[in-house]
Structure 1
Amino acid sequence: MFYEPLIYSEKGPWIVKGKRIMLNLSGGDILGLASNNDFTKTFFQFLEKLDIFFYPHFIYDGQNLKVPLNTLCELKGHRKAILFKDTPTLFNLLVCHLLKKGYTLLFDEQFEMTKILLFRNFINHAHIFPHNSFSTIKTHLNTHPDNKFAVFVQTVYPLSSQLLPVSELVEISRDERILIVVFESWADGLLGDGGEGIKSLINTLPQNWLIMGTYAHLLPFSSSYIVSSENFLEIFESDLKEYSFNPGPSEFQAGITLWFAKFLNSEKSPLRRLNDNASYLRYELAARGFKILGDFTPLIPILIGERNKSEEFYNALLENKILVNLLNYPVVPLGKSKILLIPSVLHSKEDLDFALSRMEKVAKSLDII
């Protein structure tokens, strides 16, 4: 090794796995928050203002928060937002509400492929359409002209790194029977200059678009949210009163979520460094002959194809001190096995060059490039 790596036990650019030191390109602390002194300092200053340490079990009340809820509304491009304690709670309540209101549910097939826990409870009530197949959605509309439809899509599809084709979806959503439900997934906090997600792809969100998501993949104790027009959320809120439990987050969760959204839009945001690293890695991998999939997001899938070949490549990278993600059937279709790289802001250019050199060498030995 030609330089001294920065080593963390569990997170960071280099990690310890058993007795081996490995360059981590499998995810983890993507924004480098654990070692970001500015983030840590402002984070604890915010906690002190909330008096969280003295009142850890207060239920969320928008009037008591130091950061106004409209921070999230402005970021996501709609007029009203509601916070929930977690995504499964939000998702289950939303789907129950939509079924109660007579909506037919349509899910992009990648919800099923990724085996999203949220989806499993409702598979018997949903129709699956091929990935980004808007002609299939139109067929449903034409076949059932009296039905209302809720179409579930993701801003960034994690297995392909593809961005949602917004223009096609806008065209479909002109039908007043359609409600578009966008699950931000890996777009939250990662896509756009301020981590705004879908709002970075479209200037004005149609009224019949509903945005839901969470920053939990970046900040595990954050709450989940739903943002939409006031009319829809007022009806949804009214429906929630029928439940005996409180689905709202604690004041801690609510405050952290809103503060974090604001932090990502500040001058101290680490997103530019993350995007620089991802762009560099994408460009250099493509220049070396790798088949890179998807759009310019921090998720970088490399198509390998054969299952056995992808497993050989993955294991050979481990031997060369590179930790990545292996995606095989049934997570991805047969013959579409992939290696998924997730760089972080903690990776230096030397780290990335080390990975590129080792990956190129291994790939050539296996006739991948």
Structure 2
Amino acid sequence: MDINNNEPAQLLVDGFGRQITYLRISLTDRCNLRCVYCMPEDGVRLLSHSEMLSYEEILKFVNILAGYGVNKIRITGGEPLVRKGVVNFIEKLNNIGGIKDIAMTTNGILLDKYAQDLYNAGLKRINISLDSLDNEIFSKLTRGGNLDSVLKGIDIAKTVGFEPIKINTVLMRGDNDKELMNFINFAVKNELNLRFIEYMPIGQNINQTITSKELIDKIKIEHKDFEPKKIGDCSVSKEYYFSAQKNNKAVIGFISPLSEHFCNDCNRLRITASGKLRLCLFYDEEYDIKEILNSNASDEYIYKYLLNILQKKRQTHLFNNKNNKNETDNLQNSNIAAAGNIYMNKIGG
């Protein structure tokens, strides 16, 4: 199939007619932080080298998916920058025909070291996870992380040419929720794209979740001259600018996977560092692709294999769905995914 010049003749479509165009790849389950909502304090068993997907296996998988309409890739972890060879991998990924957009989510700790090389390799969009602007709170939430390293990484990423730079912030009740306006002022001052993401209690406590609506209402009360004006509404993020800063490039977005899910427009698959395909972040079903990638299976066979799996993709997650109270209660009681035994560093976010 010539994916450089023609639209794919066959597409990856689930049982509800949603075309898959977006793949999120977890490069590693390792991380140089221990964020409280990502892994338990005593850590988790990490994958051995042989258990992880090799770069060659990942590139083979992306090549196949690109032939069937996947055109957007996001690199996640763990922390992707702790895996050796990541820059060379990005360069090879960027050379795959059909792939139009490559982005990365990072905690920013190593960004000052890698920003220029990543940009030169073809990475043009970057999201930086940052949940506190207070040194003490940041250290507590990350269990020892250095805030200054992240802020330095943001500055260097701006200098290198990444635009927009998106800051992913999870506000958790009782931990960092008082920093709402500090983050907004930080984004405006530095002309950043700030996205507040609802806390997803994967294996954790739901009571700390603050809805996007609650945040917007607080903004209106605390900064009346910062009346939010809606400028966009993609399938994932509702974006606003502040009327007092019209000419500022800062954009404030709200991602609401719990209170206002975007399942109807879901176009994504996730692959874990161990080669498990996940159809949804909120369910624990996984499908091994490592074995089939190392077989003699043709691209067509793998396509049909994936298409069959896709028919199991649910129409929506049922968390916070009042029409499905029983399953909702079950999800709440089980802490949503895998009875609380799976953490975000394993899934890839």
Larger radius of gyration: 1
Tell me the TM-score normalized by structure 1: 0.28
